[in-house]
Amino acid sequence: MELKKNQYTIGGIPVIALAEKHRSPLYIYDTDGMISQYRRITDSFSGTRVKINYACKALTNINVLKLFCGLGSGLDAVSVQEVELGLMAGFAPQDILYTPNCVSIEEIVEAVELGVRINIDNIAILEEFGVKYGAKVPVCVRINPHVMGGGNNKISTGHIDSKFGISIYQMPHVHRIVETNHMKVEGIHMHTGSDILDMQTFLRASEVMFETAMEFKELDYVDFGSGFKVPYRADDVSTDVEALGIELSERFNRFCKEYGKELTLVFEPGKFLVSEAGYFVARVNVIKQTTSTVFAGLDTGLNHFIRPMFYEAYHEIVNVSKPRGKTRIYTVVGYICETDTFGWNRKISEATEGDYLLFKNAGAYCYAMASNYNSRFRPAEVLVHKGKDHLIRKREDMEDLLRNQIELEDL
């Protein structure tokens, strides 16, 4: 987003014009932002054979999937429905890695039948899979290296109590299952959480992966998951991808020599690719002064944008209607009949009813988590691509609320 001639613009288009044309509330995504983040990783790892699988649970609009497919990305899918969306968007089955957690063997069988790569994250399923497919279908094994990433308890997955992955202490059992059933393990995978602030922690986890990898003789790739952090505030630290690229590429290439084969280094970022390229715009319905607080009440709520309430996520808020106004302190809230506070005590340029407020970092896990709570419609999504705005999802209407409901005759 840029401030040009007293107007905030996204991909060159004034935000106010987008909000007026497509109405509020509205999600806006900028393809340039997604492409440049994708290139940042591929450029940083240009010295090694790197593959990016976009973790699409962050934002699954089919156009976003097509964009990444066109860039040469693969896909990380966590449900069989995401697999199907990926196939519809044009990803080749071998470019999709299905990484489920606690799903039934039936769902895994469905994914096998769709021809995609399978990542298995528990011993019982690995054994069932081995008995069923033996050497016929290769697998990836999701490992928990027990190295604590950063982030809060809700998003960290590498700790000892985590439900994700197979513990490195269970590797002897894994090898027993693999050998007995003549399975081919084509990849090993880790995804230790969502906030790698400290590169050394990440590199330590990588060492565990390399050690583990030496014991599997038929690998094609090592998947380091995600953990790329993006800045939410002006002074936030984020993952230094360029520095990571230098260190890890060198280490990975050295590992490949030792291993005796050129493997592919895989990453599966979600947030890093789409968070900052997304914005959410909502209108101020009321300014409400109480005895202690000035509230800005918006035409949206936790039904459209739940991260602040769900994860205590911080999203910067800007009054795009008053780019240079003097600032006041607001507590920004939604219209849902529950406490849905987007931000406490935010310094925002003085707002009046009808102003548009814009939330930053709204590309990842925002629309994807929207619901119909309070029987509200989910908002529209707009993609700004090559200087033009495209409606890529309509706002819902009454028909959407009633779809799949079955009205009984005798009530």
**Binding residues for ligand PLP, per CB under 6 A?**
55, 57-58, 76, 78, 99, 191, 194, 225-226, 228, 268-272, 364
- Name which of 266 and 296 has its Cβ closer to ligand PLP: 266
- Name which of 8 and 365 has its Cβ closer to ligand PLP: 365
- Name which of 53 and 300 has its Cβ closer to ligand PLP: 53
- Element of type H or E holding 273: helix 271-274
What is the nearest approach in angstroms of ligand PLP to the Cβ of residue 7? 31
Which residue sits closest to ligand PLP, CB atoms considered?
270
Q: What is the token pair recorded at 132?
A: 């069923």
- Name which of 22 and 191 has its Cβ closer to ligand PLP: 191
Q: Are 28 and 278 in contact (CB under 8 A)?
A: yes
Q: Is 168 helix (H, G, I), strand (E, B) or coil?
A: helix
What is the nearest approach in angstroms of ligand PLP to the Cβ of residue 178? 21
What is the nearest approach in angstroms of ligand PLP to the Cβ of residue 402? 32
- Name which of 229 and 304 has its Cβ closer to ligand PLP: 229
- Tell me the β-bridge partners of 329: 347
What is the nearest approach in angstroms of ligand PLP to the Cβ of residue 74? 12
Nearest to 382 by CA among 270, 278, 283, 305: 278
Q: What is the token pair recorded at 358?
A: 């814009």
The catalytic residue among 102, 256, 337, 366 is: 337
What is the nearest approach in angstroms of ligand PLP to the Cβ of residue 359? 17
What is the nearest approach in angstroms of ligand PLP to the Cβ of residue 314? 16
Q: Are 189 and 153 in contact (CB under 8 A)?
A: no
Q: DSSP string of 306-341?
A: -HHHHT-----EEETT-TTPPEEEEEEE-SSSS--E
- Name which of 178 and 273 has its Cβ closer to ligand PLP: 273
256 is catalytic: no
Distance in angstroms (rounded) separating the CA atoms of residues 62 and 142: 27
Distance in angstroms (rounded) separating the CA atoms of residues 142 and 223: 9
- Tell me the β-bridge partners of 97: 76, 117
CA distances from 198 to 173, 230, 248, 364 (A): 32, 13, 13, 22
What is the nearest approach in angstroms of ligand PLP to the Cβ of residue 118? 13
Nearest to 274 by CA among 389, 149, 366, 395: 366
- Name which of 150 and 297 has its Cβ closer to ligand PLP: 150
Nearest to 73 by CA among 110, 121, 41, 32: 41
Q: What is the token pair recorded at 219?
A: 């690998």
What is the nearest approach in angstroms of ligand PLP to the Cβ of residue 258? 26
Q: Are 76 and 53 in contact (CB under 8 A)?
A: yes
CA distances from 249 to 47, 49, 97, 187 (A): 6, 9, 22, 18
- Name which of 269 and 301 has its Cβ closer to ligand PLP: 269
Q: Are 149 and 99 in contact (CB under 8 A)?
A: no
Active site residues: 337
